[in-house]
Structure 1
Amino acid sequence: MNHLIIYAHPRKKSFNHAILDTVTESCRQEGHEVVVRDLYSIGFQPALGPSEMLGGVEEDVVQEQTYVSWADHVVFIYPLWWAGMPAILKGYIDRVFSYGFAYKYVNGVQTRLLAGKRATLIHTQNKSQEEYEANGIENAMNLTIDKAILEYCGFTLNRHLVFDSIVDSTTEERNDWLAQLPRRMYSPSTTNRRRT
């Protein structure tokens, strides 16, 4: 299987980076092909340009679309900022998941052009999952990220894993989460978005 990992965190010594290393190594140990796109390291330009608004596609976007086309499974790893993706990752989606590549309309009917691909989201957050569930943010994220972006383009959502209360977690807890991560990415569960 071909795995594309899209990673969006600016710090190399972060728990997000430890997640990236764990997922990458797990996929390779299973004999899968892996491509990692570290958006900060490659200096991805997230701002949609005027020509792209008119249907133009820049060279850097063509390259990223080639990776997405190649992938059977796309994994997004990112921290939650302001109840959403970091700007660099949202900009990646704005530019790469463009009309005519990720979706299109034919006679007013939507066509999901990335159908057949799977997606896994793994994000970290400082607040507890219970708090986000209680105030409705958890449901809003599900609608705006899982459904309005991924399912809209045709992805089948494999898992959306959340590591919450990061600032209060211990090194032992984090090591335990990382050890369980490869199994959790693929085990069936009705609680996709919870860490435990």
Structure 2
Amino acid sequence: MSERAPRSIALVQGHPDPNPDHLCQVLADAYCEGARGAGHEVAVIDVAKLDFPILRCPAAFDNDPVPEVLVPAKEALLAADHLVVVFPLWLGTLPALTKGFFEQVLHRSDMFEDTNGRGWPKGRLAGKSARIVATMGMPAAVFRWWYFGHGVRAFERSVLGVVGVKPIRETLFGGVETVDDARRTQWLDTMRKLGAEAR
């Protein structure tokens, strides 16, 4: 049992392919296994199984409510103590479907407190922590040090950070096409441990 008090976790499984055998799904499952085994509650949001429209108009982001199909996801994010977002790195950042999910579920009218035009609006996810788990074909060190982790950092600062989430931690798994069974087992063990610690 984890030494931490039980926490509520919202896990966004952000791989756009619904195939249950891809690495992101397996990593997410391992995290959930560790978390639930330690007494934490986990709400899983599988982006690949959601049918939602793409945001096309800035006015919709500012004024419209979250699409009805995404209301349960919005409520899960608001209710959680800790967020986990798992996705593959595609063209240096989140897949389009995953980014589209966050554009729709984080509408200004739902995720920011109304300041009546006075001052910077406060995000309603303030007080929550998060972990980003990204998989990639290149070595993680190359992404982090040569590319400065730009795609992941932009998501941290310009999406999660803007709505108040902090601290935000990263777990990067690189070289996924050539990983051997022993290394893959280590990755799953890492995810189970993070889940048990609700980190």
Decide: shared fold, TM above 0.5. yes
Match of 1:3 among 2, 5, 9: 9
Deviations along 1:115-165, whole A, 9 cap, x unmatched?
Answer: 011111111000012322343341x23431111111111111342100001
Deviation (angstroms), 1:167: 1.0
CA distance in 2, matches of 1:17, 1:61: 20
3-state SS in 2 of match to 1:18:
helix
**1:12 alignment partner, one of 16, 20, 23:** 20
CA RMSD of aligned residues (A): 2.2
2:4 match? none
Counterparts of 2:11 and 2:146, CA distance in 1: 30
Q: Which residue of 1 aligns with 2:121?
A: 110
Q: Which has the higher strand share?
A: 1
- Deviation of 1:34 after TM superposition, in Å, equals 1.2
Match of 1:24 among 28, 32, 38: 32
Q: 2: distance between equivalents of 1:184 and 1:156?
A: 17
Q: Percent identity?
A: 22
Q: Which runs of 4+ in 1 moved over 6 A?
A: none
Gap regions ≥5 residues in structure 2: 1-6
The number of equivalent residue pairs is 186
Q: Could you give the per-residue CA deviations for residues 16-49 of structure 1, whole angstroms, max 9, x where no partner exists?
A: 11101101111110111111111112x2325015
Specify which structure has the bigger relative contact order, considering alpha-carbon pairs within 8 angstroms and separated by 6 or more residues: 2
Task: Check 1:80–1:71 CA distance in 2 against 1; reply closer, same or farther (3 A cut).
Answer: same
Matches of residues 33-44 of structure 1 in structure 2 within 5 Å?
33-41=41-49, 43-44=50-51
